[in-house]
């Protein structure tokens, strides 16, 4: 299941593009229903600890802000403790933080 408003916005944009291209509504619906998790975008990690674990490769200030906003919203509806792991890019290292200069402002 996709989590977060940014994923909802992406789904709406994809559906709108499909409509604009003249795709049948049933095809758009089926495509959206069969879409899975996007690796590294608030990807839920199954575990036996009773904890919600999400991984995100936020690589911009906007992406990081959206992750934190989503976590705030999830906290209101999820009963289990939550942990989000954020890494900038596909490899978390010191140099990757240079791509996220506004992270400290968030």
| The residue to which tokens 């996709």 are assigned | 2
- What pLDDT shows up at residue 94? 47
- What does the mean pLDDT of the chain come to? 78
Number of Cβ atoms within 10 Å of the Cβ of 23: 13
Tell me the pLDDT tens digit for each residue of 32-65. 998 888 788 888 888 888 887 888 887 777 888 8
- What pLDDT shows up at residue 87? 64
27-36, 77-86, 90-99: segment of lowest average pLDDT: 90-99
| Between 78 and 27, residue with greater pLDDT | 27
Mapped onto helix, strand or coil, the DSSP state of residue 106 is coil
> Alpha carbon of 27 to those of 6, 10, 30, 57, 85: distances in Å?
22, 17, 5, 30, 35
Tell me the pLDDT tens digit for each residue of 14-35. 999 999 999 999 999 999 998 8
């Amino acid at each position: 299941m996709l989590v977060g408003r940014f994923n909802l916005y992406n789904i709406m944009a994809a559906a709108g593009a499909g409509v604009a291209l003249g795709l049948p509504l049933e095809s758009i619906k089926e495509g959206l229903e069969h879409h899975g998790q996007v690796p590294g975008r608030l990807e839920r990690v199954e575990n036996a600890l009773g904890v919600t674990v999400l991984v995100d490769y936020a690589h911009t200030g906007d992406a990081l802000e959206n992750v934190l906003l989503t976590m705030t919203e999830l906290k209101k509806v999820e009963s289990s403790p939550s942990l989000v792991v954020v890494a900038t890019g596909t490899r978390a290292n010191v140099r990757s933080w240079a791509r996220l200069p506004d992270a400290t402002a968030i």
